[in-house]
Amino acid sequence: MSDKKTDAQTAPQKFEFQAEIKQLLDIVIHSLYTEKEIFVRELVSNASDALEKFRHLQLTEKNLPDDQRPLEVNITTDDKADEKTITIADDGLGMTSAELVENLGTIAHSGSKAFLKALGENGQKNANLIGQFGVGFYSAFMVAKHVRVTSRSWRADEPAHTWSSDGSGSYTIETAPADTPRGTSIAITLKDDCADFAGESRIKQILEHYSAFVSFPVNLNTKRINTVQALWLRNKNEIKPEEYTEFYKFQAHAWDEPRTHLHFSADAPLAINALLFVPNENPERFGMTRLEPSVALYCRKVLIDSRPKDLLPEWLRFLKGVVDCEDLPLNISRETMQDKALIDKLGKVITKRFLKHLDELAQNNADAYADLYAQFGIFLKEGAALDFTHKEQLTKLLRYESSLTEKGKTTSLADYVSRMKEGQTEIYYLIGATRESIESGPYIEGFKSRNLEVLYCYEAVDDYVMSNVREFDGKKLVSADSADLKLPDAPKPPADENALSETDTAALVEWLKTTLAARGVAEVKSSDRLTDSPALALNADPMPAHMRRMMRAMRQQQAAAGTDGKEGEIPAEPPLKVNLEVNPRSAVIKRLADAQKTAPEKAALIAEQILDNALISAGLLDDASKMVARIYKLLETA
């Protein structure tokens, strides 16, 4: 028996949608009331993708028969019949029956997955999310009673099939007539309350709004709607701001204006035309999705890859837009070294140019840059920490509040350096959840009294960023809670006649060393950096404090997920090793010195509590459970 497929009619086969698709359809059909019109954009955009892919095949596949059909999107509407319909057809690469099942019955693609996740986590049901995530094909069910997708794949021996569904639970697939042309046609029978989408003028208006930039002719009831243009190849002096915005909305499936765009051309080392956009918002900010690279790669207007993974560095995944490079081969392969080197080079040119654009924005419009940084700074930090090639340019773009800025205002490292005091050789920073928590902690005191500026870092990643960036302009970045810190010209704290005498302080220090040795305290000394706080703890272990915190957090995560005790378990941090500094001018320390003479047992409890408080400020307290019992004991004696 021959296994060559024929177009013989077979009975429809019924399939169940995957559970996630059912959930998605349920939301699309029942909960998304507004902006139904975006289904037109989504389907035209799919049609255009299919045409782009076919155009690419034409250039790369050797034995593709030329059927002389123009590459177009054809839309027809019918508002005269009883059943109102709209059909969106393309001459693109089409789908086999297996591809119909795979693409329209399961949730393999990222857009819809992220959408579902966002809905789940946000409890939010609004159509804006469709715009952000592109639910694509399924948006048809917002307006459809019934959808029929008839498709013939470009592969010569594949018969055509029709996929149909009313969006409830299941769909069918059957063979389509033998004369079905290559490509895909999506016929929608409209719900009664959506009948207006069968009106030509309504669809014309929607197409003009959303689909002006499709790079193939779009015809509505045989009349041409768009003028095909590749905006990125046009002279930027002739492009109006609205055109950029409209192109961005089209290309990035966005609803709002971009924050900034960069349109540039270069001839050397590569011939490039690029149009890049920074969106308004960072969807990763809510922790609900991880963006995927989405700057499309073209060669002379032919799409090579709409989401090239290796073009730009990972931290630029928030960028949208188009890069067109004439020097690329159409059938570029990630496997050959030569092609890989070309893509690398292209990526570097674009990244450098984009970083320069950000730097110019920061110089010329600091407020706009600050707003952009509030959304996307996290990506720049990621880059500064991990992308060695662009580290220097990225570090220049970092912004932090500091002890000299107002709350909410930030400074660059370059500006910090310009304010450095004579003799100051290092850039100081402190990690803390908020400005208030840093300013009320013990570490800042010695810096304030010496008039030394300290950068305030509020994000969990800052720890990692600072220790990876390591230096700026030849100055080391140093955490202000480091144990081996040598502060310049330590001014003596103001003489205080009520302070503990030197002899008493020395005795107390010795006693504390013995009393707290078992708790991992290696050194105790009288502090010259503290003015108000009783004590501070400094990490004296070779493992930096941020590593220790990270390991602890990861172990807690493993324990919560039940993967502790298994292979790959994060080992326990090494035992704590800290140096303690006590402030002889603090009332608490003076009381401790008294108690040590009169009530040594109580004094030991107080000493441990002072240590724990200092460890909390340092983010080094591993186990708070003993502290509660101790505080109660102390309260009993109060």
Ligand X SMILES: Nc1ncnc2c1ncn2[C@@H]1O[C@H](COP(=O)(O)OP(=O)(O)OP(=O)(O)O)[C@@H](O)[C@H]1O
Q: Shortest Cβ distance from residue 38 to ligand X (Å)?
A: 11
Q: Shortest Cβ distance from residue 159 to ligand X (Å)?
A: 16
Q: Shortest Cβ distance from residue 162 to ligand X (Å)?
A: 14
Record the tokens describing residue 338, joined without a space: 């030569």
Q: Shortest Cβ distance from residue 285 to ligand X (Å)?
A: 20
54 scored as a contact of ligand X (CB under 6 A): no
Using CA atoms, how far apart are residues 422 and 45, in angstroms rounded to an integer? 60
Residue spans of alpha helices (H) in 470-599 = 502-516, 545-561, 587-598
Could you give the C-alpha distances from 399 to 57, 259, 287, 414, in angstroms and in order?
Answer: 46, 18, 22, 10
Closest CB to ligand X among 136 and 493?
136
Question: Which residue among 105, 134, 283, 584 contacts ligand X (CB under 6 A)?
Answer: 134
State yes or no: 532 annotated in a binding site. Answer: no
50 scored as a contact of ligand X (CB under 6 A): yes
Q: Which of 477, 380, 461, 492 is nearest to 420 (CA)?
A: 477
Question: Which 176-205 residues touch ligand X, going by CB under 6 A?
Answer: 184
401 phi/psi in degrees, rounded to 5: -70, 165
Question: Which residue among 24, 27, 38, 46 contacts ligand X (CB under 6 A)?
Answer: 46
- First-to-final CA distance of the chain: 95
Q: Shortest Cβ distance from residue 453 to ligand X (Å)?
A: 46
Phi-psi region of 198 (alpha: psi -120 to 50; beta: other; left: phi over 0): alpha
Q: Which residues contact 551 (CB under 8 A, 6 or more apart)?
A: 570, 571, 573
164 scored as a contact of ligand X (CB under 6 A): no
Q: Which of 460, 388, 48 is nearest to 215 (CA)?
A: 48
Closest CB to ligand X among 92 and 441?
92
State yes or no: 136 annotated in a binding site. Answer: yes
Closest CB to ligand X among 130 and 477?
130
47 scored as a contact of ligand X (CB under 6 A): yes
User: Contact region for ligand X (CB under 6 A) — 136-144, 208-216, 333-341, 346-354?
Assistant: 136-144
Please, is 341 exposed, middle or buried when counting C-beta atoms within 10 Å of its C-beta (0-12, 13-18, 19+)? exposed
User: Contact region for ligand X (CB under 6 A) — 32-40, 42-50, 563-571, 624-632?
Assistant: 42-50
Closest CB to ligand X among 308 and 441?
308
Which residues does residue 170 pair with via DSSP β-bridges, in sequence order? 16
Question: Which residue among 18, 23, 87, 103 contacts ligand X (CB under 6 A)?
Answer: 103
Q: Shortest Cβ distance from residue 53 to ligand X (Å)?
A: 8
Could you give the C-alpha distances from 61 to 52, 66, 184, 455, 600, in angstroms and in order?
Answer: 14, 11, 20, 57, 87
State yes or no: 184 annotated in a binding site. Answer: yes
Closest CB to ligand X among 175 and 184?
184
Q: Shortest Cβ distance from residue 153 to ligand X (Å)?
A: 9
Question: Which 78-97 residues touch ligand X, going by CB under 6 A?
Answer: 90, 92, 95
User: Contact region for ligand X (CB under 6 A) — 46-54, 74-82, 463-471, 610-618?
Assistant: 46-54
289 scored as a contact of ligand X (CB under 6 A): no
Q: Shortest Cβ distance from residue 90 to ligand X (Å)?
A: 5
Cβ atoms < 10 Å from Cβ of 202: 17
Using CA atoms, how far apart are residues 209 and 217, in angstroms rounded to an integer? 15
Please, is 359 exposed, middle or buried when counting C-beta atoms within 10 Å of its C-beta (0-12, 13-18, 19+)? middle
Closest CB to ligand X among 137 and 141?
137
Question: What does DSSP assign to residue 52?
Answer: H
Closest CB to ligand X among 104 and 431?
104
Closest CB to ligand X among 294 and 596?
294
137 scored as a contact of ligand X (CB under 6 A): yes
Q: Shortest Cβ distance from residue 72 to ligand X (Å)?
A: 12
Q: Which residues contact 190 (CB under 8 A, 6 or more apart)?
A: 83, 84, 85, 86, 143, 144, 145, 197, 198
User: Contact region for ligand X (CB under 6 A) — 79-87, 131-139, 207-215, 423-431?
Assistant: 131-139
Helices 625-637 and 600-618 pack at an angle, to 10 degrees, of 140
Closest CB to ligand X among 211 and 273?
211
User: Contact region for ligand X (CB under 6 A) — 134-142, 188-196, 489-497, 569-577?
Assistant: 134-142
Q: Which of 366, 398, 360 is nearest to 382 (CA)?
A: 398
Q: How many residues does the chain have?
A: 638
State yes or no: 110 annotated in a binding site. Answer: yes
State yes or no: 520 annotated in a binding site. Answer: no
Could you give the C-alpha distances from 368 to 10, 372, 433, 501, in angstroms and in order?
Answer: 61, 6, 25, 55
395 scored as a contact of ligand X (CB under 6 A): no
* Sheet architecture: strand order including 475-479: 411-412, 399-402, 454-457, 426-431, 475-479, 471-472
State yes or no: 135 annotated in a binding site. Answer: yes
111 scored as a contact of ligand X (CB under 6 A): yes
Closest CB to ligand X among 56 and 549?
56
Closest CB to ligand X among 289 and 410?
289
- Determine the 3-state secondary structure of 6 from DSSP: coil
Question: What does DSSP assign to residue 5?
Answer: -
Give the footprint of ligand X on this chain (CB under 6 A).
Answer: 46-47, 50, 90, 92, 95, 103-104, 109, 111, 134, 136-138, 184
Binding-site residue positions: 42, 46, 90, 95, 103, 110-111, 132-137, 184, 334
Binding-site residue positions for ATP: 42, 46, 90, 95, 103, 110-111, 132-137, 184, 334
